[in-house]
Amino acid sequence: MRAYVPKVSILILLVAGLACGASQREATISAAVTAVNASRDAFAVYDSAEQAKIVAAATSLAEGQAALIKYRADRVKTEKLIGNAYRAIAIASTVNDQPSLDGLKAAVELVIDALKSFNLGGDK
């Protein structure tokens, strides 16, 4: 089962239009929230299925444990990036400057890249 994740290009377009106007800023932050929420939800579905697949494919307890440890190390990195994106959203929502929007865009792009490394989100 492959989780649905919006195409990477669509997610990038959602956060690409960074400007200083209040309505543009609000739209950018709202798009970032939508993109990160969709990414988080899709990754949760993928994560559950992937761990079940790893367990099913293991021929021994030791092999399964080793494979899960390796996978979970990669998963933690993605979870941290998602958390960082939410922090960037909070900062951009409270600090009205261009660097906070630039940080938000960078954080969302890192989440998208992480999903691509798991073969989610379109273009790998």
What is each CA distance from 36 to 7, 52, 56, 59, 73, in whole angstroms?
13, 24, 30, 36, 21
On whether the CB atoms of residues 121 and 115 are closer than 8 A, the answer is yes
pLDDT tens digits for range 79-118: 999 999 999 999 999 998 999 999 999 999 999 999 988 8
33-86 tens-digit pLDDT: 999 999 999 999 999 999 999 999 999 999 999 999 999 998 999 999 999 999
- The pTM assigned to this predicted structure is 0.76
CA 91 centroid distance within chain: 17
